Amino acid sequence: MEEPICHHCNKVCKNHNSWRNHVRCCPKNPNRNYKNGMLGKKGRNQYTKAKETGIPYAMSDETKQKISRAAKNRKLSKETRNKISNTVNEKISNNEWHVSLARHHHYRYKGIDLHGSWELKYAKWLDYNGIKWIRCKESFQYEFDNKVRQYTPDFYLPDTDEYIEIKGYKTDKDTAKWNQFPRHKKLKVLLQEDLKEMRAI
């Protein structure tokens, strides 16, 4: 039995049911439409519906955890990983990288909110090595793009009076924060290679 092909985009489908569902939703189908009104011809979804009604869309913790688990289990090819890395590096070099992925991945550890898996692993590394730490709450002023802003490092180590910043991709904004950090205070920036060398990640 031949595999059915979408007459809109020429995609080969596994079986007739797969073909029927694909054709109904195919982006190249001018009459595409999801059943039950989930997505109409205009491509409406929960985000656009919320925007239209003026009601903020809030994703449940359960949904966030499902998405996080799915992302962790997803295996990307070397080609795809390189493509993502090159895109990110290009945005950084063009000073267009402004979204911190860690902000969207929160972990509760010992009742403390940590941003990103690296912060979580570093906190556990500190505990394993008997180093006292607290989540930094102290902010420091710096100027960037002609605006005065506030910078709060990730960790503070009381015994060494040291501030710690965990960083993945460095931007011009980060450089401004670090260059304008008070000279009489100690700030250590830990990048991926530093955390790997410490065996924290």
Structure tokens at 22: 């694909």
**Per-residue model confidence as pLDDT tens digits over 68-125:** 777 777 777 888 878 877 887 777 666 555 555 555 578 889 999 998 889 999 999 9
Q: Which long-range contacts (CB under 8 A, 24 or more apart) does 135-138 make?
A: 136/163, 136/164
DSSP state of 12: B
**Per-residue model confidence as pLDDT tens digits over 1-29:** 567 788 888 888 878 788 888 888 888 88
Residue 76 within any structural domain of the chain: no
Residues 120, 52 within the same domain = no
Q: What are the DSSP E strand ranges found in 85-182?
A: 106-109, 112-115, 134-135, 140-144, 147-151, 155-157, 162-166
Residues 47, 109 within the same domain = no
Residue 45 within any structural domain of the chain: yes
- 3 state DSSP class of 5: strand
Residue 79 within any structural domain of the chain: no
CB atoms within 10 A of CB 99: 9
**Per-residue model confidence as pLDDT tens digits over 125-163:** 999 999 999 999 999 999 999 999 999 999 999 999 999
Residues 52, 135 within the same domain = no
Beta bridge partners of 190: 166
Containing domain of residue 45, as a range?
A: 16-58
The answer to whether the CB of 38 falls within 8 A of the CB of 49 is: no
